[in-house]
Amino acid sequence: MDWRDHGILLTSRRHGETAAIIEVFTEGHGRHAGVVRGGTSRKIAPILQPGAQIDVLWRARLEEHLGTFQVEPLRSRAAAAFSGRMALAGLNASVALLSFCLPEREPHPAIYKQTEQLLDLLGQDQIWPLAYLRWELALLEELGFGLDLSACAVTGAADGLVYVSPKTGRAVSADVAGEWADRLLPLPPCLRGEGQAPDAEIAAGFKTTGYFLEHHLAPSLGHNPLPDARARFVDQFTRRL
């Protein structure tokens, strides 16, 4: 069994004396793991950095085996990632979420393309947080937990939408929220792709997407909590408010 694809490196950990086990998010084969022989060597180890774009050749005797990877670098994002704390925290959050929530060996070409575009913005701290917020929305949508922010769940109106129901993920207008307002999640205009998206709105958006990641997506995958890297990125972002 063998195939060749390109992808984004998510994780790398030492295996034995000289090898490494890596996880790669590939366009055609999804999140896929394999052994890289010599992965701890001076030649290969610098390639195996989270966020790196790599060409991979996977081989195994049987499809269900872990298999081995041969890797070739396509594009390093190390310089952008280490350009500042925000960039590094954002990279760590995105690769950690993908490793956490993507089903193994299941292609998700749409979110793969969006992830490529997101990581290519690393280091651009003025636009990265909004791009990342939209990426989280897309990730929820891709995995079956998309939010319906087009109209009020109660009235069907498209105006005055300021809340999101934590139960259904549907928008709620200010007119009907009433005494339930303090139990609803914020719906800043930037979540609907509207307005100038100031940092305070983006932070409110993170509260909403974070709720659905933590209370809807994560439980569907078992009992493990969301990766801490996501909270560290949001904390890093909110410090600049």
pLDDT values of the chain reduced to their tens digit, one per residue, 241 residues: 899 999 999 999 999 999 999 999 999 999 999 999 999 999 999 999 999 999 999 999 999 999 999 999 999 999 999 999 999 999 999 999 999 999 999 999 999 999 999 999 999 999 999 999 999 999 999 999 999 999 999 999 999 999 999 999 999 999 999 999 999 999 999 999 999 999 999 999 999 999 999 999 999 999 899 999 999 999 999 999 9
Check residue 20 and give its pLDDT: 98
Taking the C-alpha atoms of residue 90 and residue 116, their distance in angstroms, rounded to an integer, is: 13
Q: Is 78 helix (H, G, I), strand (E, B) or coil?
A: helix
pLDDT at 1: 87
Is 231:213 a contact under the CB 8 Å cutoff? no
Strands of the chain, DSSP E: 2-15, 19-26, 30-36, 53-59, 68-75, 148-152, 161-164, 170-173, 185-186
Contact between residue 92 and residue 229 where contact means Cβ atoms under 8 Å apart: yes
For residue 38, what are its two tokens?
């010599």
Amino acid 219: pLDDT: 97
- Phi, psi dihedrals of residue 127, rounded to the nearest 5°: -110, -15
Phi and psi at residue 161, in whole multiples of 5°? -85, 115
The burial class, CB within 10 Å (0-12 / 13-18 / 19+), for 192 is middle
> In sequence order, what are the residues at sequence separation of 6 or more whose Cβ sits closer than 8 angstroms to the Cβ of residue 237?
86, 89, 129, 199, 202, 203, 206
Which tokens belong to 15? Answer: 């295996």
How much of the chain is helix, strand and coil, in % rounded to 5? 40, 25, 35
Q: How many CA atoms lie within 13 A of 167 on its CB side?
A: 4
Q: For the chain, what is the radius of gyration of the CA atoms?
A: 20
Contact call for residues 6 and 70 (beta carbons, < 8 A):
no
pLDDT of residue 82: 95
The conformation of residue 183, written as its DSSP 8-state character, comes to: G
Report pTM.
Answer: 0.96
User: How do 148-152 and 170-173 pair as beta strands?
Assistant: parallel
DSSP code for 215: I
Measured distance CA(121)–CA(51) in Å, rounded: 12
